[in-house]
Structure 1
Amino acid sequence: MSPRPPSGRAPVDRAPIDRALARAAARAGEPGGIRFTERQLYYELCRVLRPLHAGPRRIPYTLAPPVTYRRFTEALARTGRPPGLLPAPAPAAPVRTAGSDPSDLYDYGFPRLLVCQDRSVARMLIANDLHLEAACPVFAAEDLPLDPRLSAALDRAGDAVIHVLHDASPAGLACYRRVRDAHALPTRSMGLVPRHAGALHLTAGRAPGPLRGTLPEHLTAGLRPAERAWLASGRFSEVSAVNPARLLRAVIRTVRGTTGTRTPVRQHLRGLREAGFMTWPTP
């Protein structure tokens, strides 16, 4: 008599997602060894498994995730951390007071500053030397309020601007509003907004039912009706859903306002400049 087959569900073939994760890690680090976060790796895996992001930009759409975050973390635990994957960021540090830091850094004027809604995104930009390449301090929204000496350095620049990088979500729009309302300096939203997510064909999530509905007018001012409807339906896209190289190009281009002169800091950033800067595409 032949042995009986084991009861229960059939075994799951984990090889395909493990191979896809290896390809995603290689893509996330291109060109030249870019450092990336765990969530950026997850979204790169989504692009590998469902490569519909390469459609024409004139047709805006977002994509549902083809794999859950849980399955991604299980695959990551099996395969190990790939080169370039950053550790989780440290929690926010207390604001330093005058005299606690002997550095003369604050004696200079800063023409721009970048605030990121997501601490892990801020960590990724710093790990890739964007703060040096763009001559722009990078902070997470959790780090606010700014050190008074940094505020004074921005004031000394004369025409300084605070840029805010946030998700295409109600929470992201609210983050921008909080930063803008807390500072007298000109504050600009870098995105994301829904039209960016649609043009880039990003993977988008959907909030639970109770969170859907009409959004406050003060959060959606300046958005198109279709964007408001997209947000009201519960959809959202994270900055982490943008390919790491594309994100670096877009942020550098925006904060500098120009491609500027070539002042390489690391080989992969030099490669990004040679590939050309990119602003967020719009349909």
Structure 2
Amino acid sequence: MSNIKITDSFFAKAIADISVNNTLFFTPKQLLYFLDNRIRKKSNSISQFGWLFIYIPLTFFAISSTVGLMIVNFIFVWTFVNQSNSSKLNNTSRRANARNLQILGGIILVGGILISINSNSFSFFVIVVIMGMLSIYLGSQQLGRIGFLRQEFLFSQSQVKDWLERWQQMNGSVLKILPSPNQENKPTSINPDVTAYSFDRLVVCDSANIAQLLIANNFHFENNCAILSITGYPQSIFDTTMQMLRRNPDLKVYAVHDCNSQGIGLVHNLRTNANWFLHREITIIDIGLMPRQIIATKRGMFIQFSPQSARAAKQLPKEVRQSLSAEELRWLESGNFVELESFSPQKIIKVLQKGIAGSRDLESDDSSLLLVGDTGNDMYVCSKFWLVFSFCL
């Protein structure tokens, strides 16, 4: 795979880790994110001071020429700026390059000032001070924005599919990887004794993939809740489940979604869509992902960009835009987005469990909740969720 090296043991460990030793189901895209993260760590790990073994000999070689010395330093500054901003490196490597910029700036200042004093050259003194201070400044600036830099995949989903097929051919193992959600529209008959009951909680996902993931991992059994997607998955029991849910006036709905325009509009969609809860006083709790959660964690989630996301953000309903801060709107309108599938199954399950537990008693204790917008008591964000996501990362 060009410059990407991957072994059988590496692939086996990645599969074991994402499935927690073959106990959790995962989606193909989750595996793509997981492998991408692992390979970045493996391929792009750099020594904080390794570059000095190249920089010092070059500096000594060029020290007799002022122009040569400036060229060497300029090349290193440019390289560190470029690498600290690269979408192909992980945040650890980008952060290391930003710190290298600061270190290099200090070396340029100290060494350059000594050389300028020795050579009695004021013009050289001015140049090294500007270059050294600029390097330190750029390094500080890059460190402050590392967590918000966009990323690109090192390989495609089709490549991961090929690797999986080859792996299964060679090893004959059955993986806990989920197929595409079954869009079967034929209703499934359910025992009337079962439909006579309802649920106290409903988790609504903005994608069928996440709903399928939660159901496959028995989240609904372990947390006594129904799970549906805004697209109507699972179609075979969707209508029956909604009938059961509407019987419960105390129903609490938990929305979980990608951090994009479609996902952020999920709560508004639930509130205004006749197929869901139009004209009904239902508590709807927004678990996330929200732009404020991405911004608050500052831990470098897998932020992507697309022009379509930028256009969609500018077309958000007025009610949704009013619930967002100016910083969140800028983030969205820049075309940024984060997918929920960028997190492992275990992390998604833990965060969702914490979100539900933290908002279970809204009436008695809402100290962990932040009211969003001015739409009454139907939209909340669990502030503890920010801390959980930061910890999970």
The alignment's TM-score, normalised by the length of structure 1, stands at 0.73
Deviation at 1:90, TM superposition (A): 0.5
Deviation at 1:125, TM superposition (A): 0.6
Gaps of 5+ in 2: 42-89, 96-142, 361-383
Cα distance in 1 for partners of 2:195, 2:357 equals 20
What is aligned with 1:161? 252
Decide whether the 8 Å contact of 1:163 with 1:188 is kept in 2.
yes
Decide whether the 8 Å contact of 1:116 with 1:164 is kept in 2.
yes
Decide whether the 8 Å contact of 1:18 with 1:75 is kept in 2.
no
Decide whether the 8 Å contact of 1:176 with 1:189 is kept in 2.
yes
- Return the match for 2:261 from 170, 181, 199: 170
Cα distance in 1 for partners of 2:152, 2:27 equals 18
What is aligned with 2:302? 203
Could you say what secondary structure the match of 2:202 adopts? strand
* Bigger share in helix: 2
What is aligned with 2:38? 48
What is aligned with 1:36? 26
Deviation at 1:119, TM superposition (A): 0.8
2:370 equivalent to 1:250: no
Q: Residues 224-276 of structure 1: CA distance to partner in whole angstroms, max 9, x if unpaired?
A: 322211211111111111221110011122234479xxxxxxxxxxxxxxxxx
Q: Residues 144-180 of structure 1: CA distance to partner in whole angstroms, max 9, x if unpaired?
A: 7985654453344432112221110012123332222
Letter in 2 for 1:279: F
What is aligned with 2:225? 136
Change in 2 beyond 3 A, CA 1:40/1:30: same
2:314 equivalent to 1:214: yes
Change in 2 beyond 3 A, CA 1:240/1:209: closer
2:180 equivalent to 1:88: yes
More deviation, 146-155/35-44: 146-155
Decide whether the 8 Å contact of 2:309 with 2:333 is kept in 1.
no
Deviation at 1:123, TM superposition (A): 0.9
Q: In the comparison of the two structures, how many residue pairs are matched?
A: 252
Q: Residues 15-40 of structure 1: CA distance to partner in whole angstroms, max 9, x if unpaired?
A: 42776544432221126621111111
Deviation at 1:193, TM superposition (A): 1.2
- The percent identity for this pair of structures is 23
What is aligned with 2:291? 194
Gaps of 5+ in 1: 1-10, 260-277
Change in 2 beyond 3 A, CA 1:147/1:23: closer
2:217 equivalent to 1:111: no
Change in 2 beyond 3 A, CA 1:168/1:222: same
- Return the match for 2:2 from 12, 18, 29: 12
The alignment's TM-score, normalised by the length of structure 2, stands at 0.55
User: Which one has a bigger Cα radius of gyration?
Assistant: 2
Note the aligned Cα RMSD (angstroms).
3.5
